Amino acid sequence: KLILLDSLLQEISVLAMARLDYRGKMILAPMVKVGTLPMRLLALEYGADIVYTEEIIDMRLLGSERVENTLLGTVDYIDRRDNSLVFRTCLKEKDRLVLQIGTSDGDRAAAAAKKVEKDISGIDVNMGCPKGFSLKGGMGAALLTQPHKVRDILTKLVDAVTIPVTCKIRLLPSLSTTLELVSVIQSCGVTALGVHGRTKDQRPNDPCDAAAIKAVVKHTSLPIIANGGSSNNRNSLVNSYKGIKQFWQETEAASVMVARAAEWNPSVFREGEKDNIMIVIEKYFGYAIEFDYPFNIVKYCVQQLLGSLQESELGRKFLNCATMGDLCELFGQGQQYREKQEMLGRHCRPDKEFSEKMDKQEREGARKRKIGEEEVTEMFCPFVRGHYGDNESCRLPKTLLLLYARQKELGQPQYEMEQQDKQFRARVRLGEECYGSMTWEKNKKYAEQGAALVAVKCLNITKEDIVWKQTKVEGQEEVEHAEDVTS
């Protein structure tokens, strides 16, 4: 009876909350790593009305354990299989938080949504992600051409939970097929629909079709959330509060969702000029320290905020940071970080297994991960071309690794590429070992250099370890050289 009463009280609590209204809102889009608690809270501070989590796969939610973290004032979902943090939230954002799931199955989606329902205010289904991982799993944009599966997932979600259910799609190749899909989605009883103004084959440099979004608005009674208006040029006027408002007006949508412009500077949600990025970074560290976020997430998010500043002296020091402590010291947050860690260390942590795992990874700097049957040593190692002079190809990671491999008779390093939108990361196999960078790069060349950099760091290869060939140049002393392997 007590269990039934507790369940009933939870349902009453959920029903008593004001339902999320998707009209007239500026929304932080779901983005990998960026859509985590520190950035969500920062976006809300700057004026976002609703914030989305990064996409979380239904199976990860179902395999996680809900932990009330009284030390941090958060609710954590910890993966029972590897003690990783799946999702962390707090009361500050609860009434404006939407969790986006990746799914290809209605029953799994419903079970996952039911599990997290009392900690969020909305559930969204990713039906537009064009990444290979999503497509192979029958998720994301793979659902755009499967209206029967769309109907199954959405109707089961709507029946399972009391909070609003939405989904986010991309345009189909023709407007008519897009509108047919929208009609199917509307019939499922969802509360709103997000529409990205590009097809699954288009990329950020392709224009966003505001007219197509407007046609969707005219076609349906659902509140439409317009997405895709950010420019791939971070300094474009489009990536400003005024630019976002203009895109919103062009589409005549009920709300607007912001991705890249907010990823690069979340103060874009505030009317007027954007904050200096160093002020934004300071605020971000405040939340990251308060809620004890792991190094790899924090470094990735700060990297997006820094942009071209990565090539400055500060940026070079940033890229060399290997721990959360290093990052905080560099940005003047060392004292706050140490005080928080000392406080946490004095208590028994509810997320003990996860925190111990993070401590170990930070100490080691590298982690092992199974990819298929292969074990890969990974590190967060962005490749910055500006760290190497124009005439210093002999210092490039790929060059060092190639010459090291030849001298040790390990064979040619073999590179394997992974692509996400127009970003790349690579793995390199050398002998029996495989190394990879956790950093997404802007092109394949940089991705291979990043993977080679991980191998160079793990194997402690230096320029001094290489036996250099000598070439006689007429009228000069002999000079060392190495072939250029930047391509």
Tokens of 362: 């930070």
* DSSP-derived secondary structure letter, 473: -
Q: Using CA of residue 47, residue 229, residue 446, residue 413, what is the dihedral sign?
A: positive
d(Cα 326, Cα 302) in Å, to the nearest integer? 13
If we measure between CA atoms, which residue out of 226, 228, 220, 219 comes closest to residue 251?
A: 226
Name the active-site residue from 129, 167, 208, 394: 129
Three-state SS for 369? strand
Burial status of residue 16 (CB atoms within 10 A of its CB: 0-12, 13-18, 19 or more):
exposed
Query: Has 381 been annotated as catalytic?
Result: no
| Number of neighbouring beta carbons within 10 Å of residue 477 | 7
CA distance 184 to 178: 10
Percent helix, percent strand, percent coil in the chain, to nearest 5: 45, 20, 35
The answer to whether 281 and 25 have CB atoms below 8 angstroms apart is no
- C-alpha span between 348 and 352 (Å, rounded): 7
Burial of 177 by CB count in 10 Å (0-12 exposed, 13-18 middle, 19+ buried)? middle
Active-site annotation, residues:
129
